[in-house]
Structure formats: structure tokens, C-alpha cells
Amino acid sequence: MDAAWSAGEEPVVGVVDGQADDTDAIEIGARLESAAADVTIVSDGLEAVLEAEPSVLVTAGEASLTALARAGIDAPVLPVGPVSGIESVDRERIPDALEAVISGDAVCRPQPVLGVTLESTDTVVRDRALFDVTLVTDEPARISEYGVHSRGQPVATFRADGVVAATPAGSHGYASTVDAPQLSAAIDAVAVAPIGPFVTQTRQWVLPDDDLAFTVERNENDVRLVVDDRSVGMAPMDARVTISVTDTLSTLIVPER
């Protein structure tokens, strides 16, 4: 649920770039410094920015947002540039948007963050996802079979190249290309869909966002776990991937005017 938010009397604005190249952070920081009065601007790597205890974070692109979600930050985030499923501001509007934020005209919207655990006989991998979680074969069109379970109950078993679970924000990105349902931010659920199913008629699901699990029932090729477009581990036959909302990332929405 959206809520009013205030930056406080002496706001500190942290500018973070999740990419290896920090040109976005430099450009955004320069725009803010040229427009913001009585505001401390800190533009640096994530660790250094967080040490400054920012009132609000400004960041560009999906990679930066996912980095903040993994870090488990408390400060709200103003997203800049196009981000699938999350309201953001154009670069040209950054100074005006910051003014609206500092003036208390922005509202805070919590974005669910999924806790992801891959468990098998010889490995445990833990990660966090802002957009989606995917199991996918390294070589498409090879026989793989996946199971979907919700709150301890089986939902479906199917042959496919993979399976994806997406948050409401993620359901408007990659998941939409495999016909997963697109979810409203007001819904506490995840969208689940097969990837490249081996039958022409398949189902997609809207499931509770707690106690979801994927299993690898059969595979003739390596199956990879991908979290927010990052490969984080391999899933053998005995693997189980559990997914539940464990946190939120607060994003700021500013009025158009």
C-alpha cells in the first residue's frame, strides 16, 4: 500500500549505480547537485553511499534496483529511467522529481523482494529477487521436467525448457514474454509460467507469494537457477528451489506535475 513519506530536515541523497560503469551515477549526481539546495549529495559505490546514511537513494536501471534489493536497504529509492513494472522518472525530470521528494510530495510504494533458496544434496544457495526467479535448461529443446508446488501442495508437473516465477513488477518484464499473467502491484502473489513447454496447451498460474517451490523432476541437461537475470547456481535432479516474500524495497512515486 502506498504511504506518505518525508525526507526529514537535513536530507542526504545517495546516488548509486549497480553497473560496472558508473557513468549513470556521475551524470545523475551532477544533475542533482546543480539543482538541489540545502541537500547533501553522495555519489559513490553502494557501500560508501550506505555509510553516509542516506535519507533517499537515486538509481538508474533494473540492475541497480536489484543490487539494492539484494543489499536489504531501508531507505526508499527513486528509480530513474525505464524499469519494467516499476514507476520511474525520466532523466530530464530528476531535479524536479527530487524537489518533489524533498518537499514531501512523493509517496512510498513497497515492492516485494523474494527470498530464494536452492537446496540439493551437496549445495545450498541463497539469493534475493526483485523481479523474477527462473529454472532453465542450458540447451533448449532437451527433455526436462519441472514441478510447481504451493504451500506444500503440488500444482503441476510439466515438460519444458524452464519455469519462471515473477513478482508483480517482474510480471511485466521477461515473464510476460512467456505468457505469464501480468499482476497488479496491489496483489500479494507471484505469476508462474512454463518456458518453452513441450505441449501446445499449457497453463499459467497466479499463486500465493509465500511457500512456493520448484523441483527438477527429470533432466537430460544442466538446469540453471537464474535470479533477476543473474546465474546463481546449478539445479541437479534432487534440487528444490523455495521462494517466498521475505522483504520489501520501497520505491518513491512522484506526481507528474
pLDDT band of residue 20 (cuts 50, 70, 90) is very low
pLDDT at 218: 86
Torsion of CA 71, 72, 78, 82, to 10 degrees: 60
d(CA 234, CA 138): 10
pTM for the whole thing? Answer: 0.90
> Going by CATH, does the domain composed of 113-247 fall within 2.60.120.10?
no
| CATH number listed for the domain at residues 3-105 | 3.40.50.280
Q: Please report which confidence band the pLDDT of residue 122 belongs to, taking 50, 70 and 90 as the band edges.
A: confident
From the number of C-beta atoms within 10 Å of its C-beta (0-12, 13-18, 19+), residue 14 rates as: buried
Does pLDDT of 9 surpass 80? no
H/E stretch holding 49: helix 46-51
Residue ranges per domain, the chain?
Answer: 3-105, 113-247
CA 224 vs. chain centroid, Å, equals 18
Q: By mean pLDDT, which of 32-36, 141-145, 191-195 is the weakest?
A: 32-36
Question: CB atoms < 10 A from the CB of 99, how many?
Answer: 15
Strand 162-166, strand 189-195: pairing: antiparallel
